[in-house]
Structure formats: C-alpha cells, structure tokens
C-alpha cells in the first residue's frame, strides 16, 4: 500500500491558499493567477486520474478554507456555546466544496497527454464552478473569475458573466503549462495577449460616456449594530432611535434606506414602530429590512413605508440560506413525520417568498430588491419579471466579521451591477454601504464599521447587456464545443509529463 505523500499534499493545499489571495479584500490577481497555473500543472503531471483527483481535492480545500475563512465568525458570536464548532465548519465547507475541484481534476486526469489534461482541467473546473452556483440551491461564492472584480477585466462580465471570467482565468493559467519547449513560449505569448486584450477592452468600456442620472437623492443608513448586541432589548431600542434620528436629519432626501432586519421588532403594518418611522421621515418613503409574520409563516422582507406607517411595497426574500434561515426538506419532514420543528411554514425558520420581483416606486423608479445572500446569484437577477431601473441590496454582514466576508459579499454585488448594466445601492448594517454605478465603480460610500448615514445621488442605467439578455447560454455552448475538441477517453492514458504527489 502506497504511503500518503504529505509533502505533495501540503504543496497543493498551499497553492490553493495562494490562489484565494485573488478574492476580496486582497484582490491580488497577479498572485492568484500563477497559483492557478501551478495547480493546473500539478494536475496535468499526475501519474493517473486518481492522483489528479487527490491533487484537485486538496488544492480546492486550501482555496476554500482560505477564501471562506469568514465562515467561522457566526460561531464566535456566542463563542462559549458554539465556538468549538468553528474549525469543523471551516474544514467541512472547504473540503466539501473542493469535491467540485476533485471531480474536474479526475476528468482531466483521464485524458492522454499533458496538453489535454491542462486544458481539460480548465474546462472541467469551469463547468464544475458553474454547477456550484446551482447544485443544492447553489453557492457561487469565491469563483476563480472573481479575482478580476477590482480590475478593468471585470467589465467583460457584461458579455460573458462570472463563469465566463472563470473560463478566462483558468484558460490563462492553463496555456503556459500545457506544452513544453517552443510551444510553451507561443502559448505563454497567447496568454499574455489575451490578458492584455482583456484589460484593454475593459478600460475602453470604462471610458465610455456616463448615462444620464435620474436625479434621485438617497439616504443610506448604517447603524453599525454588532451581532451580539443587535437583539439585546436595551441596545435594540438605542439602535432604533439612532436610525430614526438619521432618518429625520435635514435636508430631506427622496428615499431613506435602512439595512436588512433593521427593525428590531416584528413588523406590523401601521403599528407603532412603522408609525414612528413615518413620523421621522415626514413624507419621505423609507425602505427597510424587517421580519414579519403571515399566519404561522415568518418572512425576511423589505418594506417601503409611506405616510401613516402604511406599506407602499413589500418584498419577501426567496433565495434563503440553507441551515441558516431554513432547514432543507423541513416541509417534507412535517408532512411525513409530523416534525414541526423543521418546517418553515409552521414558523420554524423563514419561509421563501414567491420569487424575484420588481417594485414600482413611482417617482423613484423600478427597483429590484436583493436581501443579503441573494446578491451572489446572477440567475436570480435574470429571473426578474421585467428590467428594473436600479438594484437595491440590503444586508446584515455583521455575522461575518470585519476581515474578509463583508468585502467579498460587496465585491460580488458590484459584479451584479456590471452584468446587468444597472446602478446598485448597497446598505449594510455594519458595512460595506455604498452606491455603485452601472459599470461596477463605487461612486459614494461609508467607512466600514461606523454608525453614520450617507446622502448621495443615484446614477443612471446603461442599455441592457448581452449577459442580462442571454445569460449563461452562449458560454455553455462554447464550453460544450471546447469539450468536444479537448476530451478524449482511453483506458490507460499515456504520460508525457513529470509526476507529482497530491
């Protein structure tokens, strides 16, 4: 029986961690891209498909453990009770998501020759990362293509979407390591040319004229409620009054926006809390995140409050966080076994709203609301029944610390603006609170981790983008065509490259 290659596994894990440096807040694409190339080279040089699978799995685990380190933060809110779970959550998440990488590496390892393996891994991993955005309700966080969000290359997402950026990333990583000798020089030159063209095309798009502004003045309210204090009765009263004071401040904007679950009480239309908000706003609509009941079902919602505390519009979050906001299959557990404690419709956890919706706020335009987690799913925005004028993202990222999680979340929301060609307004409990234009640039924002409000003008929308119109269809056709060209299966593929351990 072969002994485990711990040295090789350590190298693969470390390369995965370096590749994660391309994610926010570091955005070190220049460091991540060579790390991806080294991972591709190790997969291409594996002795067989099983070893390639191990390399992909361990490298993916390093990548996800580094990129998703914020996953430990919710367990540290009540560290005495739940802190022991934090390392297990990180390792289970990291090695679990890495199974997508393992499957892609195994498929690549079945190919004959280094070039087919390297290019095959780039294609297979793009497909695997695309699937990650859909399987088991999806989790498209920290895609390889996200390393470009802070660069002009991100503008290509308006045409090819986030998974197209992943294909570009992995293609650039694979080309220089797929061949040897003169072919390597030529392939490296091609990769450099593609990279330069990507930067150039993005810079050209950023230099185009700005769309006309709708002339709306928005007030973004950031109360900075730390998660362990958010539901404390005394702190809840203080934070509610703070938001009322910010809402009442002069001069008056056209719309005031509070973050997700900003109301520390259950929402009731026309109730005392809603009336207090309307009194502070003095005729200005207030959009805020609330928790509300409808029968036995509870919803995580956005409500627009008008005069007399009455709702002008209501949106219920529909893409819920599994195990965080509801228990999967909970309704089946209730119907089959009578277990109410798993069923959201019986009041245990949140119930999902009917789907993506566009709220027509009259003089404020048509708004597509996104609550927290929903901003990481490009398909949810494309599911809207009509094209909005702007995107409104309310969130509470206090659960995820102050180091990486909130900044990765904000970066993905900015990419949604690029994909759709629409301005995005993001209001977060502790930050990141900002206004983003239709090309993904931050035009105004608040400092992270402070209690404050920001008055700023909404920017205008661009014409509908190719990605907003066609989605992933063209990319999937391209991947299918490339796969037919690259993938060939033999019982025992010959090797023409050095062998590496896991």
Residues designated as active site: 260, 317, 372
End-to-end CA distance of the chain: 16
- Identify the sign of the CA torsion 45, 49, 54, 56: positive
**286-315 CB burial, b ≥16 within 10 A, e <16:** bbbbbbbeeeebbbbbbbbbbeebebbbbb
The number of beta carbons lying within 10 Å of the beta carbon of residue 465 is 18
The closest of 241, 295, 297, 298 to 264, measured between CA atoms, is: 241
Cα 113 to Cα 12, 54, 110, 324, distances in angstroms = 21, 18, 9, 45
Cβ atoms of residues 501 and 51 within 8 Å: yes
Cβ atoms of residues 197 and 152 within 8 Å: no
User: Which helix (H) or strand (E) segment is 434 a member of?
Assistant: strand 434-436
- Phi, psi (5° rounding) for residue 359? -95, 125
Residues 6+ apart with CB under 8 A from 265: 236, 240, 273
Residues 6+ apart with CB under 8 A from 272: none
Residues 6+ apart with CB under 8 A from 501: 5, 7, 8, 9, 11, 51, 55
DSSP 381-411: HHTSSS--SEEEEEE-GGGGTTTTHHHHHHH
Cα-to-chain-centroid distance, residue 204: 26
In the block, which residue shows the tokens 């003008």?
Answer: 457
The number of beta carbons lying within 10 Å of the beta carbon of residue 100 is 23
The closest of 181, 55, 61, 166 to 115, measured between CA atoms, is: 181
CA atoms within 13 A on the CB side of 483: 16
């Amino acid at each position: 029986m072969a002994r485990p290659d711990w040295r090789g596994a350590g190298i693969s894990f470390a390369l995965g961690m370096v590749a994660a440096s391309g994610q926010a807040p570091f955005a070190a694409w220049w460091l991540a891209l060579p790390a991806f190339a080294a991972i591709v080279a190790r997969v291409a040089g594996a002795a067989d498909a099983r070893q390639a699978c191990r390399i992909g799995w361990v490298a993916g685990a390093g990548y996800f453990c580094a990129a998703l380190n914020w996953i430990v933060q919710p367990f540290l809110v009540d560290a005495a009770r739940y802190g022991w779970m934090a390392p297990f959550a990180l390792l289970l998440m990291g090695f679990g998501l890495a199974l997508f990488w393992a499957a892609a590496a195994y498929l690549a390892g079945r190919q004959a020759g280094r070039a087919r393996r390297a290019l095959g891994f780039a294609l297979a991993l793009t497909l695997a990362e695309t699937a990650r955005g859909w399987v088991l309700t999806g989790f498209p966080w920290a895609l390889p293509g996200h390393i470009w969000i802070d660069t002009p290359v991100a503008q290509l997402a308006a045409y090819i979407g986030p998974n197209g950026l992943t294909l570009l990333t992995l293609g650039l990583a694979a080309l220089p390591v797929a061949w040897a000798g003169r072919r390597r020089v030529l392939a490296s030159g091609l990769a450099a040319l593609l990279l330069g063209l990507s930067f150039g095309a993005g810079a050209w798009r950023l230099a185009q004229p700005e769309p006309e502004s709708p002339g709306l003045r928005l007030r973004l309210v950031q109360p900075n409620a730390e998660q362990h204090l958010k539901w404390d009765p005394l702190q809840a009263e203080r934070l509610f009054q703070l938001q009322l004071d910010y809402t009442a401040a002069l001069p008056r904007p056209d719309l005031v926006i509070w973050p997700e679950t900003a109301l520390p009480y259950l929402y009731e239309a026309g109730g005392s809390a809603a009336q207090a908000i309307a009194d502070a706003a003095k005729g200005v609509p207030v959009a805020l995140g609330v928790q509300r009941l409808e029968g036995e079902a509870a919803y995580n919602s956005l409500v627009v409050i008008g005069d007399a505390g009455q709702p002008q519009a209501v949106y219920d979050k529909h893409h819920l966080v599994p195990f965080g906001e509801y228990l999967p299959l909970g309704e089946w557990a209730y119907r089959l076994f009578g277990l109410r404690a798993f069923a959201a419709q019986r009041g245990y956890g949140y119930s999902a709203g009917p789907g993506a919706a566009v709220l027509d706020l009259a003089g404020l335009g048509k708004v597509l609301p996104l609550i927290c987690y929903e901003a990481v799913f490009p398909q949810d925005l494309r599911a809207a029944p009509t094209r909005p004028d702007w995107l409104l993202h309310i969130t509470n990222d206090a659960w995820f610390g102050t180091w990486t999680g909130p900044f990765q979340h904000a970066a993905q929301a900015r990419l949604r603006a690029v994909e759709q060609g629409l301005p995005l307004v993001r209001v977060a409990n502790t930050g990141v609170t900002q206004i983003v234009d239709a090309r993904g640039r931050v035009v105004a924002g608040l400092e992270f981790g402070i209690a404050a409000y920001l008055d700023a003008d909404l920017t205008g929308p661009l014409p509908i983008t190719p990605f907003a119109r066609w989605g992933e269809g063209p990319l999937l056709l391209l991947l299918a065509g490339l796969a037919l060209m690259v993938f060939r299966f033999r019982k025992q593929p010959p090797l023409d490259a050095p062998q590496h351990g896991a």
